[in-house]
A and B are shown apart, each in its own frame.
Chain A
Amino acid sequence: MTASPKIAYVGMTHLGLCSSISAASKGFETLGVDLDPDLVAKLEKGDLPVNEPELDDLLRDNRQRIVFTTEPDKLAGCDVIYVAPDVPTDDTGASDLGKLDQLLALVVEHARADAVIVVLSQVPPGFTRARQRPGRPIYYQVETLVFGRAVERATRPERFIVGSPADPSEPLPAAMLTYLEAFGCPILPMRLESAELAKISINCCLVASVTVANTLAELCERIGADWSEIVPALKLDARIGPRSYLAPGLGIAGGNLERDLATVMRFSEAHGTDAGLVRAFVANSRHRKDWPLRVIHSEILANLPEARLGVLGLAYKENTHSVKNSPSLAFIRHLGPWPIQVYDPVVPASAAPHPSVTGAASALAAADGVDALAVMTPWAEFRELPLDDLAKRMRGRLVLDPYRVFDPKAAHAAGLDHRTLGVAA
């Protein structure tokens, strides 16, 4: 092994790409492998397929230390090899591990015998143990990628959680240790199954917080309390914490959280443990997802058969063109009988699953003549909308604003009937 180990990431996914550029930024010679020649050609040109703050700069600044390739042969020169493809899920949240297994086999075939192989993708407990072969240990490391904050998470991690196939009290392989220590954060070696479950445990804790927020925010809506007043009090409690996930939302967003919940339920079924809590998370998420549909029916559609509706935002969250699992589309899908006007800064109206949808040229234009307006993606530009103009353009008064994009006081001052999560109308 050289003094400074050479690092490889296989699978230039959001995770693989951010992690490999981060490795280069710490001064390591890095190889980014992907079997897709188009993707690799783009990466070689510095053309990144993901949009993350700081990522382009970080690549440019460390370009000389990173090589992108489609050739697995080059792995022979690497000391630590991370395998990081996306693991797709089906409708039930079950993982399709086929692609990961293919890549892992390819890596095992091309890696030197003394190279450290690490699985970085999200896998169910037991996966890595089942892939061990005599003389070929395979490690697992928890990733904690957050979309939109991927560079920060990759370059300044809180800790490394490493699953070791050997006795966790034994030191990690020197090359891996040298690499991880460069990040200057705690390293927690543990047995493989613990590390795999640690990843799921982290997500369950986050979901628990969000579910608490959603459960109590709904109660706030009925009893005259305001969840936004309660949150700061909770965050100042050291047992809960300033960065706890307490913003109410339309259920649990993001497929990875849902995958982990599905994994816990599947494993508890297989092993006879109680997963009632996790089922409750899922049920509450499903319930809160439909908040906009319930409000628009009870407040407008039940009384106004000829209603005209406006929707701001189609993307599943701000700063992305992705509509996968979008709450906006889930809402629009059930509004078939009413004409709708939509506006999203990047997603075209044609993405809306609706028989009579009109694309508006601007956010304000989407409000023209509507009886109710729903702000379904918290794009920054919606925060700047002049609410007096918006109110003038609308025929009705109702604004559904689950994410509190508009200031409730300003909305009321503009004469709008502003509805948001966590507070009574």
Chain B
Amino acid sequence: MLTHTYDTPKAPERVVVIGANGFVGSTIVSELTKAGIPVRGLTRKEVDLLSSEGAQRLLAELKPTDAVVFVSAIAPAKNSDQMIANLHMAQTALRAFAAVPPAHLLYISSDAVYADDANPVTERSPLAPSTTHGMMHAARELMFKSDGKSPFVALRPTLIYGANDPHSGYGPNRFRRQAASGEPITLFGEGEEQRDHVAVEDVARLAVRILQHRSVGALNAVTGVATSFADIARLVADNFDPAAVVKPLPRTQPRPHLLHRFFDITECYKAFANFHFERLADGLARVHREAAAQAEGAGELRRSA
């Protein structure tokens, strides 16, 4: 649940984005810039939160009037080493925040903090992660909330898609890349599991609104619409001309016990009444155009070089 400090949006003096080079971080920087909000993006090159000078370096960048977006992570945290490394990063940031507490702290978390069977998931669902990745995000939320002195908010996105997603996990991004390289789009089994997918730009636009209202609490960045992987594959395939082939593959593992996952997004309607998510079909078509334009641009660069 989200509580707004400012009912009427008010731009923060400046927003520092920790993890500005990443897929989500860079999109937040770009949406903040579009909204005319001064932003300082920090990358690992400038502030390495795993290095011994990390806290000092971060401290040198911070002003007490800054709102901070913490989106830096080794993700997904696939094992305990990566989980612990992520917690160290948060601990380093907290050392800097102890000296200069941000005016507002937004942590980009994940829907992996919820139990797999918490249908329909809401912000009130208990945090009960089933993976080291989910536990890492839940632990970081708790660290920031309990150790930090700043008004704290967690934004918990579900599966994210976008043209610049560096990951190729099962879903829209992998499907598009498979199709773009002329391969068939492959599904596990019939791809009947339904999941919520959110455009990275929508996650960033929610982050901007949260910063403008100095909201505290938690909000899921989810569209409220669950779509089967088979339908997503078909949507992606149809963006190609000719349409790409979608190929079910025999499952190598048993079908997941939890076939579907649904979210109830009423809290988002209440927090940001006139915010609406891009429809998945529209978002996938847009991403297709953007990725095609990027590929063309890259081709031109290669040709001109």
Chain A residues in the interface with B (C-beta under 8 A): 283, 286-287, 290, 293-294, 297-298, 301-302, 305, 334-337
Q: Which of A286, A287, A293 contacts B269 (CB 8 A)?
A: A293
Stretch in B44-52, B58-66, B270-278 with 4+ CB within 8 Å of A: B270-278
Residues of B within 8 A of A293 (CB): 266, 269-270
B224 at the interface (CB under 8 A from A): yes
Task: Provide the bound-state CA to CA distance between A294 and B122, in Å.
Answer: 13
Are B269 and A294 interface neighbours, CB within 8 A?
yes
Q: B263 CB to closest chain A CB, in angstroms?
A: 12
Q: A338 CB to closest chain B CB, in angstroms?
A: 8
Are A305 and B270 interface neighbours, CB within 8 A?
no
Are B276 and A297 interface neighbours, CB within 8 A?
yes
- Closest-by-CB residue of A relative to B271 is A334
Query: What 10 additional pairs, Cβ within 8 angstroms, besides A294-B266, A301-B273?
Result: A283-B124, A290-B269, A293-B266, A294-B269, A297-B276, A301-B274, A305-B274, A335-B273, A336-B273, A337-B274
Are A334 and B269 interface neighbours, CB within 8 A?
yes
Are B266 and A301 interface neighbours, CB within 8 A?
no
Are B270 and A334 interface neighbours, CB within 8 A?
yes
- Closest-by-CB residue of A relative to B225 is A298
Task: Provide the bound-state CA to CA distance between A335 and B269, in Å.
Answer: 9
Task: Provide the bound-state CA to CA distance between A335 and B273, in Å.
Answer: 7
Q: B92 CB to closest chain A CB, in angstroms?
A: 38
Contact A302 to B276, CB < 8 A, known contacts A283-B124, A293-B266, A294-B266: yes
Task: Provide the bound-state CA to CA distance between A305 and B269, in Å.
Answer: 14
Residues of A within 8 A of B273 (CB): 301, 334-337
- Closest-by-CB residue of A relative to B267 is A290
Task: Provide the bound-state CA to CA distance between A256 and B264, in Å.
Answer: 27
Task: Provide the bound-state CA to CA distance between A293 and B268, in Å.
Answer: 11
From A290, A297, A337, name the one whose CB has the most chain B CB atoms within 10 angstroms: A297
Task: Provide the bound-state CA to CA distance between A297 and B268, in Å.
Answer: 11
Residues of B within 8 A of A334 (CB): 269-270, 273
Q: A305 CB to closest chain B CB, in angstroms?
A: 7
Q: B305 CB to closest chain A CB, in angstroms?
A: 44
Residues of A within 8 A of B122 (CB): 287
- Closest-by-CB residue of A relative to B274 is A337
Task: Provide the bound-state CA to CA distance between A324 and B274, in Å.
Answer: 26
- Closest-by-CB residue of B relative to A336 is B273
From A286, A290, A302, A305, name the one whose CB has the most chain B CB atoms within 10 angstroms: A302
- Closest-by-CB residue of B relative to A337 is B274
27 contacts between A and B (CB under 8 A): A283-B124, A286-B124, A287-B122, A287-B264, A287-B266, A290-B269, A293-B266, A293-B269, A293-B270, A294-B264, A294-B266, A294-B269, A297-B269, A297-B276, A298-B224, A301-B273, A301-B274, A301-B276, A302-B276, A302-B277, A305-B274, A334-B270, A334-B273, A335-B273, A336-B273, A337-B273, A337-B274
Task: Provide the bound-state CA to CA distance between A211 and B277, in Å.
Answer: 31
Residues of A within 8 A of B270 (CB): 293, 334
- Closest-by-CB residue of B relative to A298 is B224
Q: A158 CB to closest chain B CB, in angstroms?
A: 37
List B102-123 residues whose CB lies under 8 Å from chain A: 122
Task: Provide the bound-state CA to CA distance between A336 and B124, in Å.
Answer: 24
Task: Provide the bound-state CA to CA distance between A302 and B124, in Å.
Answer: 24
Task: Provide the bound-state CA to CA distance between A287 and B122, in Å.
Answer: 10
Q: A7 CB to closest chain B CB, in angstroms?
A: 47
Q: B29 CB to closest chain A CB, in angstroms?
A: 26
Task: Provide the bound-state CA to CA distance between A250 and B300, in Å.
Answer: 59
Residues of A within 8 A of B124 (CB): 283, 286
Q: A375 CB to closest chain B CB, in angstroms?
A: 20
List B273-297 residues whose CB lies under 8 Å from chain A: 273-274, 276-277
Contact A290 to B274, CB < 8 A, known contacts A283-B124, A298-B224: no
Are A290 and B224 interface neighbours, CB within 8 A?
no
Residues of A within 8 A of B269 (CB): 290, 293-294, 297, 334
Residues of A within 8 A of B264 (CB): 287, 294
Q: A221 CB to closest chain B CB, in angstroms?
A: 14
Q: B139 CB to closest chain A CB, in angstroms?
A: 25
Convert B235-276 into 0s and 1s, putting 1 for each residue whose CB lies closer than 8 angstroms to a CB of A: 000000000000000000000000000001010011001101
Q: 5 shortest A-B CB distances, which residue pairs?
A: A337-B274, A302-B276, A290-B266, A297-B269, A334-B270
Q: B237 CB to closest chain A CB, in angstroms?
A: 25
- Closest-by-CB residue of A relative to B272 is A337
Residues of A within 8 A of B266 (CB): 287, 290, 293-294
Residues of B within 8 A of A337 (CB): 273-274
- Closest-by-CB residue of B relative to A302 is B276
Q: B7 CB to closest chain A CB, in angstroms?
A: 10
- Closest-by-CB residue of B relative to A333 is B270
Task: Provide the bound-state CA to CA distance between A337 and B277, in Å.
Answer: 16
From B122, B264, B269, name the one whose CB has the most chain A CB atoms within 10 angstroms: B269
Residues of A within 8 A of B276 (CB): 297, 301-302
Task: Provide the bound-state CA to CA distance between A301 and B266, in Å.
Answer: 13
Task: Provide the bound-state CA to CA distance between A290 and B270, in Å.
Answer: 10
Residues of A within 8 A of B277 (CB): 302
- Closest-by-CB residue of B relative to A287 is B264
Task: Provide the bound-state CA to CA distance between A383 and B274, in Å.
Answer: 32
Task: Provide the bound-state CA to CA distance between A294 and B277, in Å.
Answer: 14
Task: Provide the bound-state CA to CA distance between A297 and B264, in Å.
Answer: 12
Task: Provide the bound-state CA to CA distance between A305 and B274, in Å.
Answer: 8
- Closest-by-CB residue of B relative to A291 is B266
Q: A247 CB to closest chain B CB, in angstroms?
A: 22
Q: A99 CB to closest chain B CB, in angstroms?
A: 32
Task: Provide the bound-state CA to CA distance between A417 and B255, in Å.
Answer: 38
Task: Provide the bound-state CA to CA distance between A334 and B271, in Å.
Answer: 8
Residues of A within 8 A of B274 (CB): 301, 305, 337
- Closest-by-CB residue of A relative to B122 is A287
Q: B242 CB to closest chain A CB, in angstroms?
A: 31
Q: B268 CB to closest chain A CB, in angstroms?
A: 9
Task: Provide the bound-state CA to CA distance between A298 and B270, in Å.
Answer: 13
Q: A278 CB to closest chain B CB, in angstroms?
A: 16
